[in-house]
Amino acid sequence: MAQIVGALTSSHVPAIGRAIAKNLQQDPYWKPFFDGWAPVHRWLAERRPDVAVIFYNDHGLNFFLDKLPTFAVGAAPQYRNEDEGWGIPQVPVFEGDLDLSWHLIESLVADEFDITSCQEMVVDHAITNPLQLMYPDQAWGVRIVPVCINTVQFPLPTARRCYALGEAVGRAIRSWDSDARVVVLGTGGLSHQLDGQRAGFINKDFDLAFLESLEHDPRWATQYSIHELVEKAGTQGVELLMWLAARAALGDGVKTMHRNYHIPISNTASGLMLLEPAA
């Protein structure tokens, strides 16, 4: 059976892609952020995952407000990204894993999750930026299976529902008839708000409490409603739902291998965690 070797949670703001394109990794503004990835590179070299299951939110490149599923799973042989208007260069194509994609879809439907199956899917900065951070040479070391969660248009799935989704994905991966090593990614966040009266809002205390909870009390954030999470983390900070799903996929016990938190990246609190199953 397949093995989940760890989970990685990361911010994905478009400005990261521009910084990479302009080689600003050593710029004083960006250096604390990019330096946080060195331990992840060493971990990837040691663990050598074969596949990445990526919880992310689409920003209008693949879905728009007229058709926006609550949960969608990619089942495409390849995934390309396109121009989003942020000035981010396009990156090489990502290879999919059809066997795992359909195994996930069938397992999730059997677990009574209503899934949109996408046999064609383009991906945006929520996937390209974290994978560029993982593999700076853009020689992708993993095949990918995207799992999209709606964090854009209300009603959003609850934190409790996203945690349950992550648990179901974890069960499905571990039941997959393969010897593949799988890493689970949760991208987005942390606290930020891009518009309205609270534009620029960052809640460091909540972010740090959330990071701590992922190791010691992973269901902590599920006590809050979506509106409470928006109040505490900002309108776009609700992207922490992807972090919850990734954490849930690991099961009960985890150990933190690495953690970084930095303010600001663009107008966003930037977080990074690397977790492994405790067993």
The catalytically annotated residue of 12, 59, 103, 192 is: 192
Tell me 129's DSSP state.
Answer: H
Residue that has been written with the tokens 């677990």 in this structure: 111
Determine the Cα–Cα distance for residues 103 and 107; give it in Å rounded to an integer.
6
DSSP 81-96: ----SS-PPP-PPEEB
Left (φ > 0), alpha (ψ -120 to 50) or beta: where does 121 sit?
A: beta
Query: In the structure encoding, which two tokens stand for residue 119, read together?
Result: 């046999």
Tell me 44's DSSP state.
Answer: H
245 within 8 A of 55, measured Cβ to Cβ: yes
The catalytically annotated residue of 12, 59, 125, 262 is: 125
Enclosing H/E stretch for 14: helix 14-21
HSE-CB at 177 with a 13 A cutoff on CA atoms is: 2
Residues forming a β-bridge with 254: 277
Active site (annotated) includes residue 192 = yes
Nearest alpha carbon to residue 140 among 224, 225, 54: 54
Active site (annotated) includes residue 125 = yes
Give the 3-state secondary structure of residue 221: helix
Determine the Cα–Cα distance for residues 240 and 74; give it in Å rounded to an integer.
20
94 CB-near residues (< 8 Å, 6+ apart):
78, 79, 80, 123, 127, 131, 140, 143, 144
Would you name the residues annotated as active-site residues?
125, 192
